[in-house]
């Protein structure tokens, strides 16, 4: 009895998971995606998925790509890298997708990398850390700016203001931990002294102990917070509560309208590097990104009635780079598409101007970051 049910369950499970398998000749182009739509990284994965769904729909309405429709096959890894690995296998072996756009976190991305390398499938990651594209992996690309760029941008700005003694407060999430490492390296390179180096947990509700320590550290001239999501907003509040008057910088992980709302008055004067997307309406008309950023912003907020974040923008860029590559390759042949992605030149996206090469699978330079400041509850461009 037991044994029979065991077999039935296996087959039933197999049928249940394999139900979505059409295989006609007029195939759509399949865009695979594994995103962290739930779990701790959900606030990244959620807008990413929404963006992909929105634009796949839009592209299809406009006649698709290469005369074929696009089909989005997406799975939620629940912010668990091991699940991402499993779903990547499903995309590769079962759904037989033509490209993967996704991998919300660095952990998820890195767990998928060996699979796409082996399957020789183009993969555009939406995660931040430098390790994804350094060293260069043949089939792996990414669209978001790296944490290293963020650290460099912030330190640049600090140096302009003659701030060289900095307290670092980083989150213990993957984003924060990688950011901490890059920031430490960048500080040494740029002649910045980290006089304090504290961390907080992504689910912490009170950062005043760490901030008190920083406040009482001698010689601090500025504070740099490397985190994502709600934590940094709480840092702002604690900062204000303690009455710390030093310049406060955040990383690009909080580049969303939500951050301003959550911080309330405590956010005033805070600076951070971010893509032009957030200040699309404030860009000069001559700015090449203005059109793209405004259009994306409009489309997203009209459809979902919520504010844009730069994370959704990364998904937009990833999808558009893939689509662009399909067009230039003239087919979905994986090797050709890969080559086309690598040959992406001058693509203007929400994240900046992308110039990929055999040695650079991200293709963004420092100009992609703008230094923003919160003023009167809105972003303004510094400089």
Tell me if 185 contacts another protein by CB under 8 A. Answer: no
Q: Which is nearer to another protein, 48 or 342 (CB)?
A: 48
Around Cβ 18, how many Cβ atoms within 10 Å? 11
Site string for another protein, 20-59 (x = CB under 8 A): x----------------xx-x-xx--x-------------
**Sole binder of another protein in the list 57, 63, 114, 330 (CB under 8 A):** 114
Cβ 318 to another protein shortest distance, Å: 19
Residue count, binding to another protein (CB under 8 A):
83
209 is an interface residue for another protein by CB under 8 A: yes
Bridge partners (DSSP) of residue 348 are: 353
Q: Do 191 and 164 form a contact (C-beta atoms < 8 A)?
A: yes
With CA atoms as reference, report the closest residue to 51 among 301, 245, 239, 361. 301
DSSP per residue over 177-229, as a string? HHHHHHHHHHHHHHT-EEEEEEEE-TT-S--HHHHHHHHTSTT--EEEEE--T
Taking contact as CB under 8 A, which single stretch among the options 173-181, 310-318, 331-339, 358-366 is the one that binds another protein?
173-181
Q: What is the C-alpha separation between 354 and 235, in angstroms, rounded?
A: 33
Region of 233 (left: φ > 0; alpha: ψ -120 to 50; beta: rest) is: alpha
Q: Which of 178, 344 has the CB closer to another protein?
A: 178
Considering the complex, what minimum distance in angstroms separates the CB of residue 182 from another protein? 12
Between 92 and 356, name the residue whose CB sits nearer to another protein. Answer: 92
What strand order describes the sheet that includes 248-250? 193-200, 165-171, 222-226, 248-250, 271-274, 370-375, 378-381
Distance CA 50, CA 57 (A): 11
CB of 255 to another protein, least distance (A): 15
Contact window for another protein (CB under 8 A) among 176-184, 275-283, 312-320, 343-351: 176-184
Q: How far apart are CA 238 and CA 127, in angstroms?
A: 28
Total length of the chain: 383
- Among positions 138, 213, 298, 375, the unique one binding another protein when judged by CB under 8 A: 213
What's the min distance (Å) between Cβ of 236 and another protein?
Answer: 11
Among positions 287-346, residues that touch another protein (CB under 8 A) are 306
Binding mask 66-105 for another protein (x = CB under 8 A): ---------xx-xxxxxx-xxx-xx-xxx----------x
For residue 284, what are its two tokens?
């000069």
Asked if 110 touches another protein (CB under 8 A), the answer is yes
């Amino acid at each position: 009895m037991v044994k029979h049910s065991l077999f039935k369950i296996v087959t039933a499970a197999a049928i249940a998971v394999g139900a979505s398998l059409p295989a006609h000749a007029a195939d759509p182009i399949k865009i695979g995606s594994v995103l962290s739509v739930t779990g701790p990284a959900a606030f990244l994965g959620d807008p990413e998925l929404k963006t992909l769904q929105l634009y796949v729909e839009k592209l299809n309405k406009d006649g698709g790509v290469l005369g074929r429709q696009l089909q989005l096959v997406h799975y939620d890894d629940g912010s668990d890298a091991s699940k991402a690995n499993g779903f990547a296998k499903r995309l590769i072996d079962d759904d037989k997708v033509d490209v993967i756009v996704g991998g919300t976190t660095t952990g998820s991305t890195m767990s998928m990398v060996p699979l796409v390398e082996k399957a020789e499938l183009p993969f555009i990651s939406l995660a931040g850390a430098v390790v994804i594209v350094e060293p260069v992996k043949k089939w792996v690309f990414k669209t978001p700016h790296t944490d290293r760029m963020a650290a460099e941008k912030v330190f640049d700005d600090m140096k302009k203001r003659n701030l060289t003694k900095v307290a670092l407060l980083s989150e213990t999430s993957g984003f924060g931990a990688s950011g901490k490492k890059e920031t430490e390296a960048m500080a040494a390179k740029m002649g910045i002294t980290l006089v304090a180096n504290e961390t907080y947990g992504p689910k912490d509700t009170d950062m005043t102990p760490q901030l008190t320590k920083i406040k009482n550290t001698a010689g601090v001239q500025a504070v740099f917070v490397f985190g994502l999501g709600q934590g940094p907003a709480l840092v702002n509040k604690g900062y204000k509560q303690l009455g710390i008057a030093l310049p406060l910088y955040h990383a690009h992980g909080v580049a969303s309208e939500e951050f301003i709302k959550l911080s309330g008055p405590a956010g005033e004067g805070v600076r951070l590097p971010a893509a032009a997307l957030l200040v699309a309406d404030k860009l000069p008309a001559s700015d090449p990104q203005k059109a793209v950023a405004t259009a994306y912003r409009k489309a997203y907020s009209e459809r979902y009635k919520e504010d844009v974040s730069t994370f959704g923008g990364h998904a937009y860029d990833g999808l558009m780079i893939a689509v662009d590559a399909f067009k230039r390759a003239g087919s979905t042949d994986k090797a050709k598409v890969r080559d086309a992605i690598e040959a992406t030149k001058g693509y203007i996206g929400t994240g900046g101007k992308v110039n990929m090469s055999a040695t650079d699978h991200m293709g963004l330079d420092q100009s992609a970051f703008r230094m923003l400041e919160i003023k009167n509850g809105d972003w303004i461009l510094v400089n």
